[in-house]
Structure 1
Amino acid sequence: MGDLLSRLSLQPVDSSDFEDMLAVRIDAMRPSLERVGRFDLTRSRERLSAGFVVPYMHHIVLDGEQRLGFITLKPEDADALRLDHLYLRTGFQGRGIGEWALRWAKAQAREQKLDIKLTALVQSDANRFYQRHGFVLEGEEGVDLHYRWRVASEAAC
């Protein structure tokens, strides 16, 4: 697995990447959304469109060319960043790539001395992933769970 991680990089997103990124989001989210009866193609498009802020988005890329997913980390409040998207194609989940991307996000937060907030879907496998990486549940709203990672909580992950 270490060899795989050494072959990863982040690349900038372009506005013309929207459709490809929507396909990644649908691939990654569909099982969880179907579990809670919330899968809807139109809503998926609207949710990604609302958070499609190119300067804060990065493709997760293998060997400089194969796009495996994407991550969005953008300003939220005076004291936090928002991890708005972290999606991987289903064939690449569970291989340490999400953890690799999360380490990058935490390094950005540490550099700026900001916490990270995120929202995950109830009954999603992502909840265990984020809890395992130090995110603490702060509240819930409908089918959304709100988490926060505090920059002061970890010295260097």
Structure 2
Amino acid sequence: MRLVLSLFALSVVAFSAPDFTGSWKVNVAKSNFGAMPSPDKYTRVIEHKEPTVKIEESQSSERGEWTGIINLKTDGTETSSEIRGNALKSVSRWDGEVLSIKSKLDFNGNLIELNDRLSLSADKQTLTLQRKIDTPNGVLEQSVVFERQDSTVK
């Protein structure tokens, strides 16, 4: 019994979730938006207190401006947010040090599935979003690289 408890304690201590808290700005040159046009501006302000992640997102491009808030729970609990007036349902879980986010977006009557993988560099200065978007018109893959804009590193 002691061995089982010791192994459990070691496994809990061994994993410490990365903290995504901070202000982030896209680096367009290091990002790949696939068939989508690159944004003129894309920022994220993230508040991360396990198991809650709140992402305030702002984008502007030739398609216009958009801001929104995405709420996530890293424990697998489904969360609801709204993107441009459309319902977004997300389920997030840790896969090692990568946050895996599976979302379904009802966009003007079309179901869009987002499979995101969010990771933080070892120096905590780069946040990378690997995204697969499954739409009625096909699949799109993106790699979006954000750079830290604040000095708050945890």
Fold-level similarity (TM above 0.5): no
TM normalised by structure 1 equals 0.31
Please identify which structure carries the higher strand content.
Answer: 2
Please identify which structure carries the higher helix content.
Answer: 1
TM normalised by structure 2 equals 0.32
